[in-house]
Copies of this chain bind each other. A is one copy, B any other.
Amino acid sequence: MQIATGHPAAKQVLGLLRGHGQPGSTDALEEAELTVAEGFWACEAVRDAARDRGLRVVSVLYCPQVLRPDGLEVAHQLADLAEQAYEISAKTLQRLAERDRPDGLIAVVELPTWTPGSLALAERALVLVADGIEQPGNLGTLIRTLDACGADALVLTNPRTRRANVKVFRASHGTVLRVPCLSFATVADGQDWLDGAGFGVYLADTEGASRYSDLAYADRTALVLGNERFGIDRAWYRESAARVFIPMLGVADSLNVSISAAVLLYEARSKLADWR
């Protein structure tokens, strides 16, 4: 069945792309943690996650007019996995997709959620705490890096951007569908969970006391990165938390938050991991 932009499924895509469900809103979209996967590679990631882990696919919208054969195959596979599937015209596609020359595939999916109880941790574990991160591109890049270095989870405190933001999906290269995430209402709640699980906590701070490359890192390591402008919430600064810095040898006084996270994550990973 072919639908146009007035159809509820198309309206849902547009609403999600326009950012309904911002923090603080009571929009129903927020409750369900729905997001949009747009394009061939994104929809491949959705298909794989639906098959491997039962990801809920709310709808798939595809445009036979512009899809290449391999894209059409993914569309049909997704149609089997999705609750609803619709064809759209090239004109409708152009109005829905957020970029030039879209390749004809759009899916609405529900992000998986995790709870502290459902997260199985090995003796050695590595998590990243993203405290107050504002920019969805940064959050997405953090998630992509967590996936790459085989980290165990993302922990969110003071969230200022939603994981369901479509820019997070894009910057994460779809890994937001896979990387476990725990979100805590307060810093204290996050600390309680980390303490209970025996994590050593390391705060990334340009004024830190220890150079990142000098540390041994605890068997269970939690790295804390803060807001792009204001840094880490003061509540994270307890005596038990180590403050760690990355040397800044130039004129600028800080690194992009996702760059800092990557340098720290790979350093900790190289010291904790199997690869040495």
Contact = CB atoms under 8 A, between A and B. Distances in A.
A168 to B, nearest CB: 13
Contacts of A179: 250
Interface stretch (A8-16, A62-70, A94-102, A262-270): A262-270
Interface string A236-248: 0000000000111
Contacts of A50: none
A248 B211 contact: no
A94 to B, nearest CB: 22
Interface string A153-184: 00000000000000000010111001100000
When all copies of this chain in the complex are counted, the total is 2
A248 B148 contact: yes
Interface string A174-199: 11001100000000000000000000
A211 B274 CA distance: 13
Interface stretch (A77-85, A104-112, A217-225, A251-259): A251-259
A19 interface: no
Interface stretch (A22-30, A32-40, A116-124, A139-147): A139-147
Contacts of A259: 141, 144-145, 148, 258-259, 262
Given A145-B259, A150-B249, A246-B266, 19 more contacts: A48-B251, A141-B256, A141-B259, A144-B252, A145-B256, A146-B250, A148-B252, A148-B254, A149-B247, A150-B247, A173-B252, A175-B251, A213-B275, A213-B276, A247-B269, A259-B259, A262-B262, A262-B263, A266-B267
